[in-house]
Amino acid sequence: MVEIDLNHIYKRYANAEENNYAVSDFDLHIKDKEFIVFVGPSGCGKSTTLRMIAGLEDITKGELIIDGKYENDTAPKDRNIAMVFQNYALYPHMTVFDNMAFGLKLRKYDKDKIKEKVDYAAKVLGLTEYLDRKPAALSGGQRQRVALGRAIVRDAPIFLMDEPLSNLDAKLRVSMRAEIARLHQELHTTTIYVTHDQTEAMTMADRIVVMSMGEVQQIGTPKEVYESP
């Protein structure tokens, strides 16, 4: 059971002008297993908000509460969160298996456990035949699946995804959308997905948060957001 409360969150970057907030008064209660999409144009503060939840950026003002616990000061590695980035961030010299296993090795999981988790993720993602390949020998969609696999093996109840499909061509984006929706069903994660693509927001979200210039404009189901008069 994972609930995330963002209580009046603000972000001002250290080098920004005094009253220049990248994110202002972001206020949202996220329910267990919800699929939330942050949508809005480039620069509106989506990534910044996601990175504050991951602990990759400090929160200037406001509270991040996960399952009733104050998390503002928790180190990223101690947050039970997996994040998928736009640019895959795979290690080119490592095989698919080793790319997926890397975080678990760092955390000193034993070999059998690592193999079990990587094999499971590979199976879910249709990568079993590719485990011995290097990233250069994969298609864009397969690489993005490996990046998803690295998140899956962490077994985290919270998934954060920052424009995970925007480097893929249009056709692949559509099929990966369905795949991510299926993964969400299968893994029961509480997910926050960032995109500037309204179609992605509409087809994937339980609820959409529409952002503009650092502020939340609207929060609602796809129906409420896109069919409102």
Residue 228 is a binding residue for ligand ADP (CB under 6 A): no
Candidates 2, 6, 9, 22: give the one binding ligand ADP (CB under 6 A): 22
134/217 Cα distance (integer angstroms): 43
Please identify, among the stretches 24-32, 59-67, 73-81, 113-121, the one whose residues bind ligand ADP according to the rule CB under 6 A: 73-81
Half-sphere exposure of 180 (CA within 13 A, CB side): 34
Residue closer to ligand ADP, measured from CB, 196 or 229: 196
SS3 call for 206:
coil
Q: Does residue 135 contact residue 97 with C-beta atoms inside 8 Å?
A: no
The stretch near ligand ADP (CB under 6 A) out of 36-44, 113-121, 134-142, 218-226 is: 36-44
| CA-based end-to-end distance of the chain | 35
Query: Under the criterion CB under 6 A, does residue 103 sit at the interface with ligand ADP?
Result: yes
Kind plus residue range of the DSSP H or E element containing 162: strand 158-162
In terms of CB distance, is 43 or 141 closer to ligand ADP?
43
Per rule CB under 6 A, is residue 12 in the interface with ligand ADP?
no
Is 94 an interacting residue with respect to ligand ADP (CB under 6 A)?
Answer: no
* Part of the chain binding ligand ADP (CB under 6 A), chosen from 77-85, 132-140, 171-179, 217-225: 77-85
Pairs from 14-23 (Cβ < 8 Å, separation ≥ 24): 21/60, 21/214, 22/48, 22/214, 23/48, 23/49, 23/52, 23/214
Binding segment for ligand ADP (CB under 6 A), chosen from 66-74, 99-107, 109-117, 126-134, is: 99-107
Closer residue to ligand ADP, CB minimum distance, 42 or 228 = 42
- Strand 81-84, strand 158-162: pairing: parallel
Q: Could you tell me if 38 and 101 are in contact, meaning their C-beta atoms sit under 8 angstroms apart?
A: no
Binding site for ligand ADP (CB under 6 A): 13, 15-16, 22, 40, 42-48, 54, 76-77, 81-83, 102-103, 106, 150-151
